[in-house]
């Protein structure tokens, strides 16, 4: 299975662009978006299979952005990146439709493993339930 296309949404440009380069190094097709307003349109244009979303975006609640992505109907997997390793963050992100939560600073090997895992899970579900959307609805 080819490696999934990854879109990183994070307003810390240095972080997002460096992470993107490292993913490219590891064979992923990866790009980064630095402004919340461009997030949804970029997803619509680029069709990433996996989205890495920073919860600490300026000006908009990360959770709201997560729900907006899920509501837009795209079939991508969303992995949430956050600075806070809190139970309630994990729970809320899961309920809002995130496939996984990772705490910054990130270990790249763990990130790659989670990208591959969530993507193949989503792919499998898509093949078995073609009408099913990534958030579980039909």
Partner 1 sequence: MKIRNKLLFAFGLYLLVSLSLGFIAYQGLDALTNTQRLFFYVLIAVALLGAVLTIRLAARIANSIRNLDRAMKKIATGDSETREDSAQKDEIASLETSFREMEARLHNTVSSLELAVRNLHEKQEQLVASEELASLGRIAAGVAHEINNPLSIINEKAGLIRDIIRSAGDIPHKENIETTSKSIIDNVKRCRAITHQLLGFARHMIVTLEEFDLNALIEEVTGFLDREITEKRVRIERNLRAGLPSITSDKGQLQQVFLNIIKNAVDAVPEEGIVRISTGTKNNTGLAVSIQDNGYGIHQKVLDHIFEPFFTTKTKGKGTGLGLFISYGIVKQLGGNLTVESEIGRGTTFRIDLPFRVRLVGRKGEDAETESAHY
* Binding footprint of partner 1 on the chain (CB under 8 A): 12, 14-15, 18-19, 21-22, 25-26, 56, 83-86, 88, 103-106, 108
Q: How many Å apart are CA 113 and CA 110, to the nearest integer?
A: 5
Find all residues with CB under 8 Å of 130, minimum gap 6, and list them.
none
Q: How far is the CB of 73 from partner 1 (least distance, A)?
A: 28
22 versus 126: smaller Cβ distance to partner 1: 22
44 versus 85: smaller Cβ distance to partner 1: 85
44 versus 84: smaller Cβ distance to partner 1: 84
87 versus 131: smaller Cβ distance to partner 1: 87
Q: How far is the CB of 16 from partner 1 (least distance, A)?
A: 9
Q: How far is the CB of 106 from partner 1 (least distance, A)?
A: 7
Q: How far is the CB of 22 from partner 1 (least distance, A)?
A: 5
């Amino acid at each position: 299975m080819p490696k999934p296309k990854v879109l990183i949404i994070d307003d810390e440009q240095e972080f997002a662009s460096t992470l993107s380069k490292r993913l490219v190094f590891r064979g992923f097709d990866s790009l980064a978006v630095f402004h919340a307003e461009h997030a949804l349109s970029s997803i619509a244009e680029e069709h990433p299979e996996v989205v890495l979303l920073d919860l600490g975006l300026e000006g908009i609640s990360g959770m709201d952005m997560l729900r907006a992505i899920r509501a837009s109907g795209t079939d991508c997997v969303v992995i949430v990146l956050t600075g806070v390793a809190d139970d309630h963050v994990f729970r809320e992100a899961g309920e809002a439709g995130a496939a996984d939560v990772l705490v910054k600073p990130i270990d790249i090997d763990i990130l790659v493993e989670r990208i591959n895992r969530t993507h193949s899970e989503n792919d499998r579900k898509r093949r078995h339930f073609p009408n099913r959307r990534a958030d579980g609805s039909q």
